[in-house]
Structures are given as structure tokens and as C-alpha cells.
Structure 1
């Protein structure tokens, strides 16, 4: 079935439209928003989806207004923004490295952000906002180190992944050392943060994520065509007029910021950045980075996982990082087996 159509704009430009990919993006966006509405209605005081929508429209009673807008809506918005940031960041890294294993989870960015947060918790006893800033700084420092260590007349696929794995191992050891040096209260606080959770998230986490997304999303999408060309190789990209290293550095910085800010807001939520781009690509069956589909898939995955963490185990609610870790670990094993059978690893 033909899924590509040429659309002519009023200015005379011809634009190729991938109907299947566009349909997948719309459906994933609807799924993420639907899961968000269901999640808002989930809790000790259940609210129907219709009442949630009425309350969001300003027509609910005072009790529903407080529960929805003050308690549950910020958590869901953080979940959507964190999932979207991780999905988009993972798609950027996998496209830049041209490797399905080139995600922030494997490259060690999550561990780097964790090291920054642990440093603030263990050494300085920082507040929640200071911990978030520490996580953001840790992610940026780790991303910079990976880029510099992987540089050799440019940054290329497997070298980036191998350097990232090495940095991840080092930073993981540092995290273990920091935990052994902390007292029992700080250690417990650090372990809770390291699990990855949306519990207690409020508007203070929403606004920074929203502002950063508003800046980075247009920047990334504006360079999506160049990123698609770069997947064909640097030589081809240079021949087509792409300033490869400039675009690569810009998009890697954007991916690091997206991943670090998501980790700062919700802790190191595992494997969303790894699985979302791969699932999106399989649904769209389209070559290229599939940035919009990965973004929507990440948002849908995280809010759905959060709903599962609240409902699947009765009164024993799990942090969302536990659910994504289990599901993502299974997916990673499947991916490794598939890549080995294909002779790519």
C-alpha cells in the first residue's frame, strides 16, 4: 500500500507526506492524552473520565477541582513531558550513533545525572530543587565527557556507544561509592530518587520542563531533515550540503539537555529512551529518525507505565521506574538477540 503522497503548497513547493507515519503520530498522541485522562481519574478518590474532562474545562465541583488541578494534573503533565523528552532524546542518540543501542540508558547519561543528584544529597544535604539542579549538571558533564572521549575526526556510531558504556561503568562505581559514604537517612532518600518516580510531582517540575521543551523541540525538528541525511553517512551528508559536525553537536547537546532535565524531574526512569524510538520505527515502518513518533511514544509509554504501577499491584503501588525497568530489560534482551542474529553485534 502506498503511504507517501506529494503535497504542493501555495508557494509552489512540493512536500512529501508519509500518511502512515502521520497516522501513527496522531494515534500515539491520542493514546498518550487518553492515558493521561485515565491516570488523572485514578487514585484513592476515583473520578470518571467524563468528570475529569469537565473539571479540566472548569465545570467541576470544588473537591474535584482541587484533586484534579492541584494534585493529579501536575503529576500527569510531568509524566507526559518526561516521557516525551526521553523518547525524543533516545531517538536523537540512536539516529546520531546509527545504532539501536545508542540510547541514554546505555551511554550512561542517566547514571551521570544520578551522580550529580547523589553528590548534592550525600555531600550537601540539598533540597529537592538543588537535587534537580545537581542531576541536570551531572547529565551535562557526562554528556560532554562522552562527546570529547568519542571524538576522533568526528563522532561515529560504535565508538560513541563503547565510550558511553565505559563512562557508564565508571559513573556507576562513583554512585556506589557515594552511597557507601552516606548516612542511613541520605542513603534511603537517594535510593528512592534513583528508582525513578512521579510521586509528589507538582507545578514546580512542570514549568521548567515545559519551557525547555518549548525551546528544544522546534530546534530539533528544524534539523530533522539534516539528521535523516546523516543516517546515510557523513560523506553523503557533506555532499548534500549538511554541516555534519555542527548539526551533530547541536543535536547531541539537545538530547543531553532533554535527558538530563527529564532525569532531574522524575529520577532516572529506565529504558523509555531505549524502547520508544524502536517501537515508533516499527509502527511507522519509515526510515529516518521518526522524531515526532518517538516523542509521542515516549509520552504514551510513561503515563501508561505509571497507571500500571498504581493499579496492577493493588494497594502496593510501585515507582514507575520499576515498571519501565522490567519491561525495558525484557525488550533490551530481545533487541540484543535480534541484533546478534542479524550479525550486527
Structure 2
């Protein structure tokens, strides 16, 4: 009887591992396909052979400028920002054991946006200052939300409600700044808060690339304890997980990635919100889905950008498309959670 049970457990684990690896590979393949499409499609469609030749360093009239100067930076911005939003959102949702506990809903991206819009409207600051202010604003918002939610004892529901309230307040601040801003500053601010890959330049992407490359391995290492944290504080401690250290490292890593991504592309709506649940649905929940969630985030951003740029007569920022997709799911999730009485 014992042998049968052990064999069943081993077989089940092997199936879960196979599902995880196979679905992660499929998600990676989709990302590669969308990346190629981002380099091929534009005002002029270039064949794959021309794209490869340009990437290999060959100079092709017209194609070299379009691919290296315009499309490649746009691809990197969407790829790394999408991955950062997806992985960071998954960490928040899993660690706090609530799908609403993500940076979009609890106001972290709103803090980054408010700081950036203030710099654009009031100070007419440079892109560098706007980016730094966006990161600082996101970090300050996190500290404020967690400080107010702590109280006598930490409550996830309290954190979400406080976060929603702060997001509403910051959204009002952004609206006020837009009303008092100069006419020539409004388009810049609007483009930024909508979430857009327009104007991406390789020279401006270094902080984003560095942050993702630095923090993803850290998140993967500490993510081993992320699934155990879902069992509760006492269970995690009994299994040898340093809960406070794990939470601190994961929160700092997720917030830094999301803040830098927001500073680079603006707050691309609902990517952090949707990526984790989609990854869990396709990959399963037996393993830490940091990488699959990041890949889903990249797919959402790249796919939405292609749709927004070329599927309609008018070109829309990527954040508009992801917002159209994500808003109905948020409403559905709020209704479902309210019926269960978990909020």
C-alpha cells in the first residue's frame, strides 16, 4: 500500500513537472514569435531574412534604421516591461494570497504615475528626472500602504482596501495636475500615464534591463519559499522558511521591477493583474510561476502593442488595449470575491 502511494505521488509530481516545463516552453515560443513580428511589422513589412541580416550587423537601406532605431528598442521595452509587470504582479498576488493584491489595484503604479505627472506638469522635468521620480513615488506608495495596513495586526483585506483608497486619491491628484498643466505638457503626460512603447530608445532602457536581469534570479531563488508561504505563517516557519526575510526580499524585488518598468513605459494597465492568473491556469500551481507569469506579461504587452498599432484605423497606446481586456476581468473578480465574502 505504501509503495502504491509513493508511486502515485512520484507520478503526479512528474506530470506536474512535465506540464510546467512544456507550458513554459510554449509561452517562450509565443514570446519569440511576437518578438519576430514586432521587428517585421511596421509601415514597411520586412521579411525574416532581412531582420536576421540587420541583427547580424549588415547594413540594408531603410531596414537597418527602422529595425535598429525604432523597432528593436520598442521590442525590448515591451518585452522587459511586460516581464517585470507579470512577475512582480504574480509575487504580490501569491504572497498576499489574494488576486486583488497586485500593483495596479492597490495603488503602487498610481504612485509612480502621480510622481511622474507632477514632474512633467509642474517642473517640466527631463525624462531622467521623471523616471527617477516615478521609481521614488512607487516605493513611497508601497511604504505608505503597508504602514497603514499594519495596524495591530497585518490584514490582507485592509491592505487592499487602503490601497484602493490611495489609488483613488492619487488618480484625483493626477486629474488635477492635468487640469492645471500647460497645453504643450498635456500630450506628454497623457502618453505617459496611458502606458506606451512609443519613443522607446536603447539609451533609456539600461535601467529596465539591468533591474530585470538582477532581480529575476533573486526572485526565483526566494520564490522557492513563495508556495510554502501560501500555507500560512506557522506552516512556513515549521518547514524552515525565513518568512520575514523571504517576504522582504520578494517585495523589494517586485516593487523595484514594477517601479522601473513603470518609469520606462508608463503604467501599462492590468498586465500585473492578469499575468499570474493566466499563468496559473495554463501552467498549474505546483511550482512557483514567476517565469511563466513574466512570459505571459511579455505576451500581453507585445500582443496588445501589435493590436493597438495595426489592428485599427487609429493607433492606440498599448495600455489602452490591455485596459480594455483587463477591466471586465477586474469587475468579474470583484463580484466573485464579494459573493464569497473574502474582501
TM-score normalized by the length of structure 1? 0.91
How many pairs were matched up?
A: 334
Q: Within 5 Å, which residues of 2 pair with 1:154-233?
A: 155-233=154-232
Q: Within 5 Å, which residues of 2 pair with 1:8-19?
A: 18-19=17-18
Give 1:267 shift: 0.8
Are 1:252 and 2:251 an aligned pair? yes
CA contact 1:270–1:325 (8 Å) conserved in 2: yes
Counterparts of 2:198 and 2:187 in 1: how far apart (Å)? 16
Counterparts of 1:289 and 1:171 in 2: how far apart (Å)? 32
Residue number in structure 1 paired with 2:4: none
Q: Within 5 Å, which residues of 2 pair with 1:1-345?
A: 4-5=13-14, 18-59=17-58, 61-152=60-151, 155-287=154-286, 289-314=288-313, 316-340=314-338, 342=340, 344-345=342-343
Counterparts of 1:184 and 1:62 in 2: how far apart (Å)? 38
Counterparts of 2:214 and 2:138 in 1: how far apart (Å)? 18
List alignment gaps of at least 5 residues for structure 2.
1-7
3-state SS in 2 of match to 1:104: coil
CA contact 2:121–2:186 (8 Å) conserved in 1: yes
CA contact 1:112–1:139 (8 Å) conserved in 2: yes
3-state SS in 2 of match to 1:198: coil
Residue number in structure 2 paired with 1:13: none
3-state SS in 1 of match to 2:205: helix
Deviations 1:232-252 (A, max 9, x none): 111111111222122112211
Give 1:263 shift: 0.7
3-state SS in 2 of match to 1:150: helix
Counterparts of 1:256 and 1:225 in 2: how far apart (Å)? 19
CA contact 2:222–2:249 (8 Å) conserved in 1: no
Give 1:59 shift: 4.5
Change (3 A) 1:185 1:255: same
Root-mean-square deviation (Å): 2.0
Change (3 A) 1:3 1:66: farther
CA contact 1:89–1:256 (8 Å) conserved in 2: yes
Give 1:194 shift: 1.0
Change (3 A) 1:343 1:166: closer
CA contact 1:122–1:178 (8 Å) conserved in 2: yes
Give 1:128 shift: 1.6
3-state SS in 2 of match to 1:281: helix
Counterparts of 1:201 and 1:155 in 2: how far apart (Å)? 40
